[in-house]
Chain A
Amino acid sequence: MSTETIEDRLEQYGKTLEGVLATAVALDGEPAQLTDRRHQRSRRTPRLVAAAVSVVLVGLVMWAWSGDSGSVGTTIDPTATTASPVDDLASPAVDLAASATCLDRLDELRDNMASGDLANSPFVPDPHLRDATPVTIVDPERAAVTHVIIVGDTMAAVCVVPAGSNDVEWLSIAEPGEQPAATKIDLWGLRTAQMTSPAGPMSIHGYGRVGSDVVSVDLVVGKHRNEAVIEAGWFVVEAIQPAQSGNVLKASLEYSAKGQAIETIRLPEPIEQLPQPDAPSDPRDAAAASQALKEAVACLEAEGNTIHESYLDTDTGTPTISMSTTNTDTRAMGQLADLCSTRHSVNIDIGYLSE
């Protein structure tokens, strides 16, 4: 029987990986030579072309929303005669320099739009996008990055338009017909967010993380929570601020829709009503999980282990114990973990104090 552990094999494999990296460096030159970007640029040409295609396609999508050559984003009522979104959003209530840059970019995209076949575009797999409503989130801390969230009645899509760049990227597209349509997206600034559209056309909820603090973003497009009705338009989240506790978004929404004047809507505590992602939604489950945690911790401590923390897994709601130990007998620790996991239905993750 081989006495080589997985850890040993991984360590050896690391040398292979280092060799690959060393070879790549030898071929490319010094790793820190960033200035020789002309070579990189030549290699990047195909992707730049692809990015340009993306820009055109996004422009086409924007054009499809607008219904005419009017302003992007005022799309539900094609007869609307609103001013440009940039003008609409130039409210003194918020600093919209970043969003203006973004909208300039989108305006430019629209102006650059050309003929194309949306139906065959890999970027726009569902014609429902043509009826979608764009939502723009401006991260005030990273103003150079803008997120555009597009939600249709059967799908949700996300693309990123970094201000000052032609680099348009689609981040995530939920499959058409998903009920509820849900997808995890990875946003700059927002980090991760989950979007669902279970309640009908153009209704989404998102929550994500900014920095290390959990916040929630509740974007309401259509009739939904708290009877807030926002029919269409650009939405700029004024501030995404980590809450003092819990998952609370302190935000106001600026919007323009159907030619209405700019209004500021402050949703009356909409977020607190959302299920907390860190806790099971069913109170009975929460009680059971808490009890399981207590029992498992007691079990492990009785075995002489030191428990550093116990918590509910944020992904699954499963009670989880994080334990550190200097015991390197992985088999014994694995058996202990399995035993406690079976007995208490608790995940036990063991960190070794090797670092």
Chain B
Amino acid sequence: MVEVYEGVDDTMARPFEGWVVEARPRLERAFLARYGVEIAGELTAEVMAWAWEHRGELEAMSNPVGYLYRVGQSKARRLVRWRASTIALPPEQVADSGSPEFEPGLEVALVKLSDDQRTAVILVHCFGWTQPGVAELLDIELHTVRNRVHRGLAALRRELGADI
């Protein structure tokens, strides 16, 4: 279905729609990783609305998704301030926790990571993104992503008492 944007010529809307279909899920996952489930959806909606209003500027950018992530960071401050003071992540579904070595609470350990580390770890290891893909969306250097993933995993191992 081709959506018709209210008050806007459809020929202008189509390219944006095609672009946003690709960008939105990436942004939503990144926002979930950084800000938790309570904020991610609404934040994504706000950012995409902002993107529509500023589509002309975005078209001229080399990395519009990365820019929108920054927009989301700014908008999230208000959401965090008014809505939630802590990151909310769903509990880990543990199929077999019979092992005495198993330390539950992966989501708690993730929340304890720094925002940057948690974002990188979740995007790479939970959502299966490539590190270059994460670097592009966050608009940071690849080695920075590597650092954050490595340090985040190390912190998770310490927190969960895992040695592998």
Q: Are A17 and B143 in contact (CB under 8 A)?
A: no
**Distance, CA A54 to CA B52, complexed state (A):** 24
Q: How many residues of A contact B (CB 8 A)?
A: 55
Q: How many residues of B contact A (CB 8 A)?
A: 68
**Distance, CA A101 to CA B81, complexed state (A):** 28
B window 65-110: CB within 8 A of A: 70-71, 73-75, 77-79, 82, 89-93, 99, 101-102, 106-107
**Distance to closest chain B CB from A242 (angstroms):** 14
- Which of A39-47, A85-93, A255-263 forms contacts with chain B? A39-47
Chain A residues whose CB sits within 8 angstroms of the CB of B73 once the complex forms: 186
**Distance to closest chain A CB from B135 (angstroms):** 10
Q: Are B147 and A322 in contact (CB under 8 A)?
A: yes
B93 partner, pick from A11, A12, A24, A349, beta carbons under 8 A: A12
Q: Are B146 and A6 in contact (CB under 8 A)?
A: no
**Distance, CA A32 to CA B49, complexed state (A):** 11
A window 201-236: CB within 8 A of B: 212
Check A9/B92 contact, CB under 8 A, given A4-B102, A144-B54, A331-B164: yes
B74 partner, pick from A14, A33, A171, A355, beta carbons under 8 A: A171
Check A17/B162 contact, CB under 8 A, given A10-B125, A46-B82, A188-B74: no
**Distance to closest chain A CB from B137 (angstroms):** 14
Q: Given contact pairs A28-B41, A170-B77, enumerate 10 new A-B contacts (beta carbons under 8 Å).
A: A4-B102, A10-B106, A10-B122, A13-B93, A16-B91, A17-B122, A32-B3, A188-B71, A350-B150, A351-B150
Q: Are B101 and A31 in contact (CB under 8 A)?
A: no
**Distance to closest chain A CB from B12 (angstroms):** 13
Q: Are A144 and B74 in contact (CB under 8 A)?
A: no
**Distance to closest chain A CB from B126 (angstroms):** 3
Main secondary structure of the interface of B (DSSP, over half): helix
A32 partner, pick from B17, B82, B122, B163, beta carbons under 8 A: B17
Q: Are B20 and A34 in contact (CB under 8 A)?
A: yes
Q: Are A47 and B78 in contact (CB under 8 A)?
A: yes
Q: Are A43 and B49 in contact (CB under 8 A)?
A: no
A199: CB under 8 A from chain B?
A: no
Q: Are B102 and A2 in contact (CB under 8 A)?
A: yes
- List residues of chain B with CB under 8 Å of any chain A CB: 3-6, 17, 20-21, 24-25, 28-29, 32, 37, 40-42, 45-46, 48-49, 52, 54, 57, 70-71, 73-75, 77-79, 82, 89-93, 99, 101-102, 106-107, 121-122, 125-128, 130-133, 141-143, 146-147, 149-151, 153-154, 156-157, 160, 162-164
**Distance, CA A142 to CA B63, complexed state (A):** 13
A349 partner, pick from B28, B77, B146, beta carbons under 8 A: B146
A282: CB under 8 A from chain B?
A: no
A309: CB under 8 A from chain B?
A: yes
**Distance to closest chain A CB from B116 (angstroms):** 10
Chain B residues whose CB sits within 8 angstroms of the CB of A284 once the complex forms: none
Chain A residues whose CB sits within 8 angstroms of the CB of B91 once the complex forms: 16
A342: CB under 8 A from chain B?
A: no
**Distance, CA A20 to CA B6, complexed state (A):** 30
B92 partner, pick from A16, A20, A32, beta carbons under 8 A: A16
Chain B residues whose CB sits within 8 angstroms of the CB of A40 once the complex forms: 42, 45-46, 49
Chain B residues whose CB sits within 8 angstroms of the CB of A299 once the complex forms: none
